[in-house]
Structure 1
Amino acid sequence: MLSQASLPIAEDRGSRRLLASIHDVGPRFEREVDQLADRLSRHLGGPRFAMLVVPDHWGQAPLVGARAFQARLREWADGGVEMFVHGWTHRDDNRSKGFRAKHMTAGEGEFSALSQAEALRRMTEGRALIEDITGKPVAGFIAPAWLYSPGAKAALGEAGFAMAEDHMRVWRPADGAVLAKGPVVTWASRSRSRIRSSLAFSAVARTALRPLRTLRIAVHPGDTTVPALLDSIDASLAAAMRDRTAGRYSDLVKRK
């Protein structure tokens, strides 16, 4: 149950912002990312969204060597799209975790059980690669499935990222300052039950999350395979833009 009493309230459209993002960006999902980028741009009035880039999705789609997709990333970054490091492979390779734990995230919680040293290595290598491709600093780091081990959280500050995000907040790793609060509105395409539950939540969120100063909406490549999810995404974006402006994650840091 969402409690409006605990949500920070904004008084007018000028102080309300929508932060939209496309997850799992990489050559493996180039067509789907194109579709989502076009869709978000139509609703937001241009490329005012973030992309969460995976350097080598599931170890099967490396950015290194994908020259055409690298050029697309540079093009998007030059157009104003913010780039986040989104893990390294997105895949959880921890063999000690049980079936249930992995099933809950479809084995995609890459940073949910990493040591600080390993998390730092993947973070810094991902950052170096993406910044080398785009020629611009990354906006921050967002773990796959929004899951961080204690070691991964500690590594964020050591890596020097300006911001990080989980399902319920955006924060500054340097001092732990919370930059935005409230659940991310997102969708799931993995099963009928997950489709139904995400459709239900997004419908409720259009009203229940209106008091938030900062509303976050995140879309994934798999969303493009389910027409009902695309319709819901359109409805949520349209509803949000009626009383919000399309913002940038970097605005949160400037405000603080």
Structure 2
Amino acid sequence: MLVLHDVAPETWPDYEPFVQAVDALGNVPMTWLVVPDFHRRNLLTQSPGFCQLLDRRLAAGDELALHGYAHADEGPTPRTPLDYFMRRIYTHEGEFYALDEHQAIARLQDGLALFDRQGWPVAGFVAPAWLMSQGTRQALRQLPLKYTSTPQHLYRLPDFTAIDAPGLVWSARSAWRRGVSRVLSDWQCRRWQGANTLRLGLHPVDMRHRYSRDYWLRTLEKLIEDGREPLTKSAWLERQVAA
């Protein structure tokens, strides 16, 4: 499963050359994790051209999933060392890490309403940085979504049934992080060689560096050469349900 995180009008220039390269490989459906108002400065409805692009991707067989609403942690100041680490060191974008159930439902419904206005079907929600509070989990049990995910699992909703789906992801903000990510990803690929599925979780920052961008393209090419079938998250999940 090839998954593009943090999809928004301002991140599309990062992704565009990579998406063109993937399209050149043939039929490789992708799951686009779409942020309705990225960092409160990229409201999708104010970018009709980008929305038309997403319409075309849907028509071509790709999937759009809801990826937070603003992809920014707008909560109060962290009160515990753990919360400080998760919300200020690990990431500043854990939008759903500290939300209570009411807050989470409101934000999720806002995102789903935007998808509905655009006529976009949506089966999945992925929290920014995969961080979900207990309130967020309770909210997801009440909404018409089919799945959510963490780095190593997809969860069938509303009961949060866990399905193994290991994933590769890079930290590409600096040269040393990219080097460590390459070593770790190579090790994980060997470890998961016999796994039924593998997710490639890409981020805009990966696309800004040739080293990481080329890695993802080569990895995708190799998986296809090895006989792996590319699927969207929804298509893959439907097969697990049928089985």
TM over 0.5: yes
- Counterparts of 1:156 and 1:99 in 2: how far apart (Å)? 25
For residues 126-171 of structure 1, the C-alpha deviation after alignment (integer angstroms, 9 at most, x for no partner) is 11212322x2311210000111111111111111211111111001
Displacement after TM superposition at 1:80 (Å): 1.1
Unaligned runs of 5+ in 2: none
Q: How does 1:1-256 map onto structure 2 within 5 Å?
A: 19-43=1-25, 45-97=26-78, 99-133=84-118, 135-178=119-162, 180-241=163-224, 242-251=226-235, 252-256=237-241
Unaligned runs of 5+ in 1: 1-18
2:166–2:197 Cα contact (<8 Å) kept: no
- Counterparts of 1:255 and 1:197 in 2: how far apart (Å)? 33
- Counterparts of 1:68 and 1:56 in 2: how far apart (Å)? 15
Percent identity reads: 28
Q: Secondary structure at the match of 1:28?
A: coil
- Counterparts of 1:79 and 1:131 in 2: how far apart (Å)? 19
Q: Secondary structure at the match of 1:96?
A: coil
TM-score (norm 1): 0.86
Displacement after TM superposition at 1:245 (Å): 0.6
Displacement after TM superposition at 1:83 (Å): 0.5
Amino acid at match of 2:37: D
Closer, same or farther in 2 for the Cα pair 1:111/1:81, shift >3 Å? same
Amino acid at match of 2:15: V
Q: Secondary structure at the match of 1:171?
A: strand
- Counterparts of 1:171 and 1:102 in 2: how far apart (Å)? 23
Q: Secondary structure at the match of 1:90?
A: coil
What is the root-mean-square deviation in Å for CA atoms of aligned residues? 1.7
1:186–1:202 Cα contact (<8 Å) kept: yes
Closer, same or farther in 2 for the Cα pair 1:81/1:131, shift >3 Å? farther
- Counterparts of 2:90 and 2:35 in 1: how far apart (Å)? 16
Displacement after TM superposition at 1:92 (Å): 0.9
Q: Secondary structure at the match of 1:185?
A: strand
- Counterparts of 2:51 and 2:90 in 1: how far apart (Å)? 28
1:184–1:218 Cα contact (<8 Å) kept: yes
Amino acid at match of 1:66: S
1:164–1:170 Cα contact (<8 Å) kept: yes
- Give the 4+ runs in structure 1 shifted more than 4 A: none
Select the structure with the greater relative contact order (CA < 8 A; seq sep ≥ 6).
Answer: 1
